[in-house]
Amino acid sequence: MKNWVKKSAFVLLSAGVVMQTTAPVSMAAGTTSAQPELSSPETKIITAAHRGASGYAPEHTLLSYEMGEKMKGDYIEVDLQMTKDGELIAMHDETVDRTTNGTGLVKDMTLEEIKKLDAGSWFNERYPQYAKPEYAGLQVPTLEEIFKKFGRGAQYYIETKSPGVYPGMEEKLLELLEKYKLTGENGCSSHVLIQSFSPESLKKVHEMNPSLPLVQLLWYDAPASISDVELEDIKQYAIGVGPNFAKIDQAYVQKVRDHHLLIHPYTINEKEEMRKALEWGVTGVFTNFPDRFNEVIQEYKSQK
């Protein structure tokens, strides 16, 4: 499935690497907190159902998330945007244009307006091989609806999108996590991982709740490299990184692991690439096809 990555307002960190920011970023973060350890080489490899099982169903709909759960995704990946009236909704883009039958910026629309939109028919038209009648007319879910439906039995990998556009986004997110008792441990992992391209947004989350595990997203437009200093800076506040898979290599993965950080590349949809990622030592992936990655993990384990 095509990945419509639209990046804006990035700050250059080193050759070819960017993190999203709204102001100059000091990576020498003052934020420190107890970070969960990357336990051992046996660390569970996680499957993040990217926008749900979005290869098979319209992204960021409850049906897509449900399918991700059925396909044994460990985490439901949720991208957040915020409406004019301050409601957090699940949507990748700042506009509703691509994934609904509407047009306009989410920040200029009320939740009531967004709820009137059809968030499924576009998928049937674009991907007839996966089309289903029940996708037509699906609504854009709020984060609260997602928590109500999947509760504490699920794990969520939540991205603060465009935090500079949405003042108060982190506060609202924390409010909902607390309301639905999702800030703590879930067995040997956590109910949520919070991810962002914006270090400022992640640090804001930590100022409010230092125990929430954070993942720094990274995007490279050239073959990726990352310095020891950058990794140690990220380690001051995050437990892992999420780079775009297309630009990394085995040395990059090894370097991240050497710094005892998790590495969850995005977005890996082909089995061959999934196998390669496992060989390189990633600790999880974002995929639109969680069933495929779980098959690859099983094959990989049986060969070891």
Give the residues lining the site for ligand G3P (CB under 6 A).
Answer: 3, 5, 50, 79, 92, 159, 195, 217, 242, 266-267, 286
Which residues, numbered 53-82, are part of the site for Ca ion (CB under 5 A)? 79
**Residues that contact Ca ion, how many (by CB under 5 A):** 2
Local structure of 79: helix, strand or coil: strand
CB 17, CB 218: distance < 8 Å: yes
Among positions 87, 159, 170, 200, the unique one binding Ca ion when judged by CB under 5 A: 159
Is residue 259 among the annotated active site residues?
no
In the bound complex, what is the minimum distance in angstroms from residue 3's beta carbon to ligand G3P? 6
Is the CB of 79 or the CB of 273 nearer to Ca ion? Answer: 79
Identify which of 120, 117, 87, 89 has the alpha carbon closest to the alpha carbon of residue 104: 117
Task: Tell me the sheet residues that pair with 216.
Answer: 196, 241
With both helix axes pointing from N to C terminus, report the angle between 169-179 and 199-208 in degrees, rounded to the nearest 10.
40
217 binds, among Ca ion, ligand G3P, none (CB under 5 to 8 A by kind): ligand G3P
In the bound complex, what is the minimum distance in angstroms from residue 164's beta carbon to Ca ion? 16
In the bound complex, what is the minimum distance in angstroms from residue 176's beta carbon to Ca ion? 18
Type and span of the H or E element at 250: helix 250-258
CB 265, CB 246: distance < 8 Å: no
Q: Which of 50, 191, 206, 264 is catalytic?
A: 50
CB-based burial, 277-287: b 16+ in 10 Å, e otherwise: bbebebbbbbb
Q: Any idea which residue has 């509407």 for tokens?
A: 102
Structure tokens at 125: 């038209």
Is the CB of 159 or the CB of 230 nearer to Ca ion? Answer: 159
In the bound complex, what is the minimum distance in angstroms from residue 252's beta carbon to Ca ion? 20
Is residue 50 among the annotated active site residues?
yes
Is the CB of 74 or the CB of 133 nearer to ligand G3P? Answer: 74
- Which parts of this chain interact with Ca ion (CB under 5 A)? 79, 159
Catalytically annotated residues:
50, 92
